[in-house]
Amino acid sequence: MASEGVASGASVLLSFRAENVRSFRDPLEVSMLATTLAQADCVRQVGWREGGRPLGVLPAAGIFGANATGKSNVLRAMHDMRLHVLQSFRFGNPTGGISRRPYLLDPATRAAPSRFEVDLVLNGVRHEYGFVLDDTRILEEWAYRYPRGRPAMLFHRHADTVELGSVERAKGRAVTELLRPNALFLSTAASANHAVLLPLYAWFERNLLLAEANSRQFRQALTAQLLEDPGARERVLAFLRAADLGITGAQMVEPDPVTRERMQRAVRIILGQEEEPDPAADGPAFASFGLMLVHRVDDIEVAMGAEDESLGTLVWFGLAGPVLTALTDGSVLLADELDASLHPALVAELVRLFQDPATNPRRAQLIFNSHDAALLGEPGGAGPLGRDQVWFTEKRDDGSSRIYGLADLAPRKEEAIGRRYLAGRYGAVPILSRQQFADAVRGPAEVDGR
């Protein structure tokens, strides 16, 4: 099905599931498994067990829908799971309590537990990991792997009782002694250097990094750090040049020690290595980096600071570090509002970087949301995304979000997906009234009198 060979030692995301998280009261699932609707040239064949038939895995998924329907919350739920894994033991309050974001519009659901699960291939072996938690404790947590196609338990926790698998039982018992009610067993095991579970924890360190507007300054710090790395500098500059932004180079003056520490801390935060005490706090300003982007006009080169760059240039600069890191490491990148302040052609090329095996040989994955219908394709030519790589979100009448795949609607190959989406044929578009807009800008007397 794919144009490349089977990757027997690959690590890829197969699916993510959650329940009672943010605007999703009911279960949600995003699958990265290819279907018969897939674009054959972008599917990756990944070995998942000894002697087993490989799985077809997708390198990208796009989420589309009206404003406030939950597109961003799908990505944030995935990132929430990452932060729980990375921070529950290191940064959790030892006296108790868990910070989480359940569905808030239903008082009964608000008090109910939240659930997170991932199905992934880790070093060529399928793994399942998940947990259930409420505001005070971990209620359940489990990890299984499938080395020969059948589940082999690594551990299964029910509240304070942990059932251990057959491997590293002595180390597992030592971890149990350290376990807190509000800390994940996986997080605790990583702190104890549990050899069997450490690779699973490390997967969360490298994956599910969220690129959103609030993290732009942190991401810009990551890009700036890569520019200082001789091994990465030319790749970053090539990425900036390819966007036709007029950038030909970069100059950097050593920042003062305080700014340098803020930049390094920003990189640690976005990589999940350090907790941000105030989620609303800004990262270091681009203008403080001592970085100037060089532009050439005819034979003249001009170095410009952040205040002279367009918003689109600063957005692209903030994407450069995470995108190149994901492609280099073969990791999963989450991108919120990928098309914000970027030309549609630029967004399409970024998606193709992940879709093309030649530019994505390590099987990195991109999961993003967008309003750009051009990514869905028009008659006579396929878009950057295959039909099983498209997901839609809608808001129900009770305010909860739901997500569903275009593949579930069985679209025909010749369908103009983008055009039909904008026409509301798949749902996931706003229901608007011209009269309501007109009434909104009139005075009350005008509306009453019409």
H or E element: which one contains 140?
A: strand 138-146
Residues of the chain with pLDDT > 70, as a percent, come to 94
Residue 260, CA distances (Å) to 7, 53, 265, 273 in order: 40, 49, 9, 17
Q: What is the pLDDT of residues 86-123, one digit of tens each?
A: 999 987 778 889 999 999 999 989 999 999 999 999 99
Q: Model confidence at 186, in pLDDT bands (50, 70, 90)?
A: very high
Q: Model confidence at 130, in pLDDT bands (50, 70, 90)?
A: very high
Across 158-163, average pLDDT? 94
- In DSSP terms, 119 is beta-bridged to 15, 128
What are the tokens at 162?
A: 């942990």
Would you list the domain boundaries of the chain?
A: 1-207+331-450, 214-330
Q: Is CATH 3.30.200 the right assignment for the domain spanning 1-207+331-450?
A: no
pLDDT, averaged across the chain? 90
pLDDT at 412: 85
370 phi/psi in degrees, rounded to 5: -165, 160
What pTM does this model have?
0.93
Across 248-258, average pLDDT? 89
What are the tokens at 57?
A: 């895995």
pLDDT at 3: 43
362 three-class SS: coil
Residues 6+ apart with CB under 8 A from 254: 260, 290
- Spell 379-399 as b/e; 16+ CB within 10 A means b: eeeebbbbbbbbbbbbbeeee
Q: What is the pLDDT of residues 307-322, one digit of tens each?
A: 899 999 999 999 999 9
H or E element: which one contains 223?
A: helix 216-227
pLDDT at 14: 98
Contact 29, 17 (CB under 8 A): yes
Across 208-221, average pLDDT? 92
pLDDT at 277 over 60: no
Across 129-143, average pLDDT? 97
147 phi/psi in degrees, rounded to 5: -65, -30
